[in-house]
A and B are shown apart, each in its own frame.
Chain A
Amino acid sequence: MPKDHGIGASSKRREDVRFLTGTGNYTDDINVYGQAYVAFVRSDVAHGRITGIDTAAAEAMPGVLKIFTGSDFEGVGGLPCGWQVTDRFGEVMKEPPHPVLAQGKVRHVGEMVAAVVAESLQEARDAADAVMLDIEELPAIVDMKKAVASSETLVHDEIGTNLCYDWGFVEDNRDAVNQAIKGAAHVTTLELVNNRLVANPMEPRVAVGDYNRAGDMSTLYTTSQNPHVIRLLMGAFVLGIPEHKLRVVAPDVGGGFGTKIFHYAEEAFCTFAARALKRPVKWTSTRSEAFMSDAHGRDHVTKIELALDEANNFVAVRTETYANMGAYLSTFAPSVPTWLHGTLMAGNYKTPNIYVNVKAVFTNTVPVDAYRGAGRPEATFQLERVIDKAARELGVDPMALRRQNFITEFPYATPVAVEYDTGDYHATADKIAEIADFAGFETRRKESEAKGKLRGLGINCYIEACGIAPSNLVGQLGARAGLYESATVRVNATGSLSVMTGSHSHGQGHETSFPQVVSEMIGIPEDQIEIVHGDTANTPMGMGTYGSRSLAVGGSAIVRATEKIIRKATKIAAHLLEASEADIELKNGAFSVAGTDKSVAWGDVTLAAYVPHNYPLEDIEPGLEETAFYDPSNFTYPSGAYACEVEVDPETGQVTVERFSAADDFGNVINPMIVEGQVHGGVAQGIGQALLENCVYDETGQLLSASYMDYAMPRADNVPMVTVDHSCQTPCTHNPLGVKGCGEAGAIGSPPAVINAVIDALHSGGFTHVTHIDMPATPNRVWAAMQG
């Protein structure tokens, strides 16, 4: 029987009630009394020198309070970068300044040049239209290889190059890898593009800055996945506001997918302007602004080589990747193509020699940073595509080739610096064969062929590193922050609990799943436990939600704090029961003395903690509230096997996904319903990347895909039902819940499965010259590939 509460139950989400009745509290729903509105004047050229900003006409327009330009921000800090990568030669990366409002030059379409604050949004927008920008246009650089080669067109003149870093990993393995490839029996080479994407959470970004003169207190309401991180970065590095004078609130947030991790200029602007004007200042992004100001994702150009011996064992992998940084370094941008990508190049396989080279490049495009999966989808895509290509070249079954090379013994130290604690890749491979009905594929292929369609089956195995991350390790790798998580458990006098967490829910359902954990530990009903998150004023310093870390790291902090609570409550219970602490057991919300019928209810113990009349005051303090900070000792390593079946219309090149199945190993699962939902959503984003989505610039740096008219979001009729299974469970060995994280798997595991399926379909139709199609595999691209 499935459980109906606690760990393992598909508890219905309590947050749904407010979202379903229109009573959620998203940032744009917040209006602060007396607020003014800002409209930004953004550059419509990709690269140019600002020669003049004429605000006179705009200033005279009704309602205008003040127009800000770069000169108002001269003494203000730039947006900081949270990760410093050191290159192959021991040099630190190039880190040009990232101003709030453009200083001297504009470097991408959408960069903010001026800001008009007015009484109403309408007035702000009208006046923004009247600000005259004089920009002397410079040649723009968009193509990464040209950018690296160019010494004339520089995104940042002062650093003398467009190369941010040239990273080698593991540099000491380089010669061994080159040797192994030279001596290999077979080498499969693949050049591919991991297409640039726009995360597109459905809620656009919003920032409301407020300033209270009486207390010299600034408050920022913002659409963030990590309010404490924003407070630290903006307060300490940009505006110079000490943390105790700055509060950041991220209320209900309508999806993030990585793009709401970063500290953005608009947040700093609204906070700054509110202080300058002594008025609240609000900005709500339009979708068009979002396309040109939210950090983009992916955008890698890669060459990968896979070397095999005579027996088809993998002997070496060598990659060379160009990774687009855009015009400025977004908060975590440098870490994505390096430590979140290179470390995953072993995949599920015992390849002994691996070398990864990444050149990070500045271009005149919007900054690129983490998007669901962040580095790991790029690693998986290369590896799983090149393995499929190798299988075809060698005439072997692609799953058999994978299985032969699977890592089977754990813990396993890869040649790319990580140690997988647990996994069972054969188990998920077996499971995918079952749930995707490999046995019935040939019949389905015949049915498709009878309709004049080509059918293909694509598989993919993935591993990811989640539960980000051990602070001391990432510190050595260049992180400028710790990556622990925090929790405060406050037990109220009558026994209910408030759990203050540094994690942040923007769709993940923490308000439901976190109480399941605490309820299981204490034995009180889930509805007695409230989750508080998203406000720096009432949560302990925490790093927020990304990298599939909330349960593995944030949940572990909650476990640790709850353990402290139980320890103290046990002491109180022992006193009340006049028994020895060692004999006290907590079960189903009551403390009892082992082997007797003496017991005291949870609520009586908690009441005693706050009304300490009969209480061991000489030994312990009154009250029942504990905080824990949890720093993981390793990453977690979810893994799995995915299968996709597509139909290709040979007349048009149109690809439709007919079946999609996912067999994941997430370790232990707290709420299966939520886990399955995470996989569904990730898979849809992966199918979107593989078939639909593409963020495109022309060579002058104009953004061609700047609205939902041009950027193809997956819609309900583009994606199939997804069969998901998470019954293969090898619990994580180093966190108290044994959980691994599930938020990104779908987006990591699906793109290679889709493209492998498309190639398989084309081969079945005799188009055997097609060895690769870059994403998105649009009808145009597929048809062109078929024509040769």
Chain B
Amino acid sequence: MSDVTMTVNGKTVSRAVRGNELLVEFLREQLRLTGTHVGCDTSQCGACCVHVNGELVKACTIFAAEADGAEVSTIEGQANPDGSLNVIQQAFQDHHGLQCGFCTPGMVMAAASLLKENPKPSEQEIRHYLQGNICRCTGYHNIVRAIMAASGQEVEGGAIAAE
């Protein structure tokens, strides 16, 4: 066991961790921030995405001890200060970018990183960026639209609704 201290969603936390304790385990079990999910054991699905020092990181790929001293933010820290959904979260709701919600925290964190790097991504750029995040429910259609909308771009309908 070793002691780690990090800032998580703006709050400083110190805990004892096992040497092999993954950051995602630390967040979920020690801090009970259960919004970050585990969808695989091969670093493929992206359900565990968080930001570490501003970078998009799969929290199942690093040990908690490696995040000692880091600034970590998770899905629980994404809403506006008044508790309302932030622009990306709101766009996911508006454009039905989620169904079961299990991949969603990872998707929102990935989208935030994408838009930081590339404020007006094209459809292809979004799809390429999301390669590391698997969603089984939405077929990605509405996730792509939500991210387009969150970046202030015109969103193609794609759907022809019934009268």
Interface residues of A (CB under 8 A from B): 2, 8, 10, 12-13, 15-24, 26, 28-29, 31, 122, 200-204, 252-255, 257, 284, 286-288, 435, 506-509, 669, 672-674, 676-677, 680-685, 707-709, 713-717, 719, 721-727, 729, 746
Contacts and interface: CB of A to CB of B under 8 A. Distances in A.
A724 B159 contact: yes
Contacts of A122: 18, 20
Contacts of B40: 287, 707-708
A680 B138 contact: yes
Nearest to A201: B136
Contact of B100 (A8, A10, A202, A204): A202
Contacts of A286: 41
B158 A722 contact: yes
Contacts of B28: 29
Nearest to B36: A22
A677 B45 CA distance: 21
B104 A19 contact: yes
B10 to A, nearest CB: 15
B144 A19 contact: no
Contacts of A203: 37, 39, 100, 102
Contact of A254 (B89, B96, B102): B102
Interface size class of B (residues with CB under 8 A): 35 or more
Contacts of B38: 28, 204, 284
21 contacts: A13-B93, A16-B93, A20-B108, A21-B89, A22-B33, A22-B36, A23-B35, A202-B100, A255-B137, A287-B45, A507-B99, A672-B159, A677-B96, A681-B99, A684-B141, A707-B44, A715-B131, A716-B131, A716-B143, A721-B156, A746-B139
Given A13-B96, A203-B37, A287-B39, A716 B85 contact: no
A684 B41 CA distance: 23
Contact of B135 (A202, A287, A724): A202
Nearest to A728: B162
B59 interface: no
A681 B138 contact: yes
A21 B39 contact: no
Contacts of B130: 715-717
A713 B162 contact: no
B159 A676 contact: yes
A213 B45 CA distance: 40
Contacts of A200: 136
Interface string B11-53: 0000000101000000011000111111111101101000000
A353 B12 CA distance: 73
Contact of B101 (A204, A252, A719): A252
A239 B34 CA distance: 32
A726 B136 contact: no
Interface string B94-133: 1010111111110010000000000000011011101101
Interface string B142-163: 1110000000000010111111
Contact of B93 (A17, A674, A724): A17
A255 B136 contact: yes
Nearest to B91: A20
Interface string B59-90: 00000000000000011101100000100010
Interface of B: 18, 20, 28-29, 33-42, 44-45, 47, 74-76, 78-79, 85, 89, 92-94, 96, 98-105, 108, 123-124, 126-128, 130-131, 133-144, 156, 158-163
Which residue, A10, A12, A22, A682, has most C-beta atoms of chain B within 10 A? A22
B131 to A, nearest CB: 5
A288 B100 contact: no
Contacts of A17: 85, 93
Nearest to A431: B160
B51 to A, nearest CB: 13
Contacts of A708: 40, 42, 44-45, 134
Contacts of B135: 202, 716
Nearest to A122: B18
A717 B127 contact: yes
Contacts of A717: 124, 127-128, 130-131
A257 B136 contact: yes
Contacts of A254: 37, 100-102
Given A202-B135, A669-B162, 11 more contacts: A8-B162, A202-B134, A203-B100, A286-B41, A509-B99, A682-B139, A708-B44, A722-B139, A723-B160, A725-B159, A727-B162
A26 B102 contact: yes
A204 B44 CA distance: 14
Given A16-B92, A22-B35, A681-B139, A255 B99 contact: yes
Contact of A16 (B37, B101, B128, B162): B101
A16 B96 CA distance: 9
A203 B101 CA distance: 9
A684 B102 contact: no
A685 B136 contact: yes
A22 B76 contact: yes
B77 to A, nearest CB: 9
A621 to B, nearest CB: 40
A26 B37 contact: yes
A685 B137 CA distance: 8
A202 B47 contact: yes
Contact of B42 (A253, A435, A707): A707
Contacts of A715: 130-131, 134, 140
B44 A709 contact: yes
A15 B101 contact: yes
B134 to A, nearest CB: 5
Nearest to B20: A122
Given A20-B108, A509-B99, A724-B160, A680 B41 contact: no
Which residue, A202, A204, A717, has most C-beta atoms of chain B within 10 A? A202
Nearest to A707: B42
Contact of A672 (B39, B133, B140, B162): B162
A21 B76 contact: yes
Contacts of B161: 2, 10, 672, 676, 726-727
A22 B126 contact: no
Given A122-B18, A708-B40, A716 B133 contact: yes
A287 B138 contact: no
Given A255-B136, A681-B138, A723 B42 contact: no
A680 B36 CA distance: 25
B92 A716 contact: no
Contacts of A722: 139, 141, 158
B45 A202 contact: yes
A723 B142 CA distance: 12
A24 B131 CA distance: 24
Contacts of B137: 202, 255, 507, 677, 681
Which residue, A10, A19, A288, A669, has most C-beta atoms of chain B within 10 A? A19
B127 A202 contact: no
Contacts of A684: 138-141
A202 B39 contact: yes
B100 A506 contact: yes
B123 A16 contact: no
Contact of A12 (B41, B42, B94, B139): B94
B139 A202 contact: no
Nearest to B39: A202
